[in-house]
Structure 1
Amino acid sequence: MSRIQCERCLRPQSHCLCPLIPNLDSRTRVLLLQHPSEVKHALNTARLAALGLNNAELIVGEVFEDLPALLNRPGYQARLLFPGDDAQPMRAYRVSDLPLLLVVPDGTWRKARKMLHLNPLLAALPRVTLAEGGVSRYRLRKAPGPGALSTVEAIVQALESLEAPTTFAPLLKPFEALIEGQIAAMGEETFQRNHGPG
């Protein structure tokens, strides 16, 4: 028997995160392109980001047929949040006249690269990158390297860089509750064994 699910945050009704999800405005428009394998993931942080930002859109897929229309939003300059040799630091856009349309692929690194490969228009976008040294609060996943953040953490860091002094930290409240809930469900001993220092 399946548990009743919240239709908004897709969490079990007993663990609904909606009361913690903020309602934030941003000058930057965020376009989240989510790999289908992430939709049912227990820690779907892209969905949390999309729900908490008024100027955000979440689209699920591998190939995005309507990408030209999505990227050509009047009044915005599209940039891909993804590492690359030619990626510009986010802070370079702080004083820009046109706000950014920040395109954020959501999936494992491998799946995100595949999405770029399958969508040449996406891969051709100028890239922006986060400041180095970001520390993830994502205690349930082994990060592939230093500075590897969850999708919602990356978006918060990007927006705070672009729109300082505005804070987007409230977006992290449901994320932190989600992680605490997962740790509680697995038990402290299991968490320490699998994810603790060591």
Structure 2
Amino acid sequence: MSRSRCPRCTRPLGHCLCALVPRLSSRTRVLILQHPGEASHALNTARLAALALDNGELRVGETFPELEAELAHASRRSCLLFPGTGAMPLAELARDGAPLQLVVPDGTWRKARRLLHLNPQLAAMPRVALPEGLSSRYRLRKAPMVGALSTIEAIVCALNLLEGAGRFDAMLRPFEALIEGQIAAMGETVYRRNHEGDPAAPISPSAPAGSSA
């Protein structure tokens, strides 16, 4: 029999993270497009990010046909937070000061690339990337490359760059609790044997082209 889950954070009721999730306002709109394969994952950081942001939204699917019209009539500039040839450093947009919509694909790198493949309007968007050399706190997934971040870490870093250093750090509280809870559940010995020493994360908007959530 499956355990009862919180309808908001989808965690088992005994491990609900809602009390740790802040509610923050942002001038930047954050639209997270999550591959269905990530939606039921125990380490679903995209949902935590969306819950924390008044101006955030999470959509789950492989195709998003509504996006073409939405992007065409958007009142603010829209950019894809994803590495690639010609991706603009996000810090440059921060100096511009204009309202922005960040579209963030969520999934493994393979799944995120699939989202772009199935949604040409995403692939055609101007891309922005985080600074290189970032370090993840995600210790439960092997990173595909140095500097890979979880989705929530990438969003926090992006918003801090755009709207002020440290303003969105509170979003990481449930993320840290999620990681610590998973480590406690598996036991310190198992964790050290399988994970210690491996930075872990599913998405890295600062990584070279060809990477993904």
Contact 1:71–1:101 (Cα < 8 Å) also in 2: no
Match of 2:157 in 1: 157
1:89 and 1:97 map into 2 onto residues whose CA distance is: 14
Distance apart, 1:56 and its partner CA: 0.4
**Partner amino acid, structure 1, of 2:34:** Q
Give the 5 Å matches for 1:1-150. Answer: 1-72=1-72, 74-150=74-150
Match of 1:179 in 2: 179
1:66 and 1:7 map into 2 onto residues whose CA distance is: 26
**Partner amino acid, structure 2, of 1:48:** L
**Partner amino acid, structure 2, of 1:135:** S
Identity value in percent? 63
Contact 1:80–1:104 (Cα < 8 Å) also in 2: yes
TM-score (norm 1): 0.96
Distance apart, 1:124 and its partner CA: 0.2
State the Cα deviation string for residues 106-131 of structure 1 (Å, max 9, x = none): 00001100110111110000000000
Task: Sort the Cα spacing of 1:30 and 1:73 in 2 relative to 1 into closer, same or farther, 3 A.
Answer: farther
Match of 2:195 in 1: 195
**Partner amino acid, structure 1, of 2:5:** Q
TM-score (norm 2): 0.90
1:180 and 1:73 map into 2 onto residues whose CA distance is: 42
Q: RMSD of aligned C-alpha atoms? A: 1.3
Give 3-state SS (helix, strand or coil) of 1:48's partner.
helix
**Partner amino acid, structure 1, of 2:51:** L
Match of 2:211 in 1: none
Unaligned runs of 5+ in 2: 199-213
Match of 2:209 in 1: none
Distance apart, 1:73 and its partner CA: 5.5
Task: Sort the Cα spacing of 1:128 and 1:110 in 2 relative to 1 into closer, same or farther, 3 A.
Answer: same
Aligned length: 198
Runs of 4+ that moved beyond 4 A? none
State the Cα deviation string for residues 166-186 of structure 1 (Å, max 9, x = none): 511000000000000000000
Give 3-state SS (helix, strand or coil) of 2:95's partner.
coil
State the Cα deviation string for residues 43-100 of structure 1 (Å, max 9, x = none): 1000000000110010001111111243245431000000011000001111324311
Unaligned runs of 5+ in 1: none
Distance apart, 1:19 and its partner CA: 0.1
